[in-house]
Amino acid sequence: MSNPAWQTVDNTNLFLKVAIRNWGLKQVNEPHILDCFCGYQELRKACYSDLPYFGIDKKSDTPADIHCDNMEYLRTADLTRYNFIDIDVYGNPWEQFLMVSKRKHGKFVCVLTECIEFNVNTNSISIGMKGILGIPRKMKIPCLGRHIEFMRSVMVKYADEKFGSKYITGIRSSAGNANYFAGVFEKTN
């Protein structure tokens, strides 16, 4: 029996997730991984087993290196040793992405899993994301989910303009309600 569309399932479309990450790993020399939602480390086993790795997860029953809110970690930890940031969230990865863009310097890869289409279609995107997109807080926009590509472009452009994280290249794919994106960024200031 399949899961309902609103129920979260870890690592659906594992083949696509691995392919996107393998592409990203080729974009940096000597990858050092920061996995912001490491869960039970399926992706570590599939992609990062022989690489320097640090995993974060809130759930205490996971084999994470640290159990905490990843936003708190991203706000306070020294990110200099990481050049590959994996943000595989059930919903909206942009809050974490923007914090990385704000604090990270040099060349780095960000791999994002977006499962926000359902949230966007029900107008449940975050107030912060609405602000960046220029959508009034209480406004509901029918069929906003059709504009995922545009919203992703705006968020990447915002990271460049606000924090100086220049987008160099990237790839994307999607399956079901999940969108996968890997981008190479460089910040010199």
User: Cα separation of 132 and 162, whole Å?
Assistant: 11
Q: In what order do the strands lie in the sheet with 33-35?
A: 66-67, 53-57, 33-35, 84-88, 106-114, 178-187, 166-175
pLDDT for 10? 55
- For residue 46, give every residue at least 6 positions away whose Cβ sits within 8 Å of its Cβ, in sequence order, or none: 14, 17, 18, 21
Enumerate domains of the chain plus CATH numbers.
Answer: 14-116+167-187 (3.40.50.150)
Yes or no: say if 179 and 12 are a contact pair by the CB < 8 Å rule.
Answer: no
Residue 15 structure tokens: 């083949």
* pTM (predicted TM-score): 0.88
Amino acid 177: pLDDT: 75
Which class for 161: exposed (0-12), middle (13-18), buried (19 or more C-beta within 10 A)?
exposed
Both structure tokens of 146:
């059709």
pLDDT at 124: 63
pLDDT, one tens digit for every residue, the chain (189 residues): 454 544 445 556 789 999 999 999 999 999 999 999 999 999 999 999 999 999 999 999 999 999 999 999 999 999 999 999 999 987 788 899 999 999 999 999 999 988 765 555 555 677 788 889 888 888 877 777 777 788 889 999 999 999 999 999 999 998 877 889 999 999 987
pLDDT of residue 155: 92
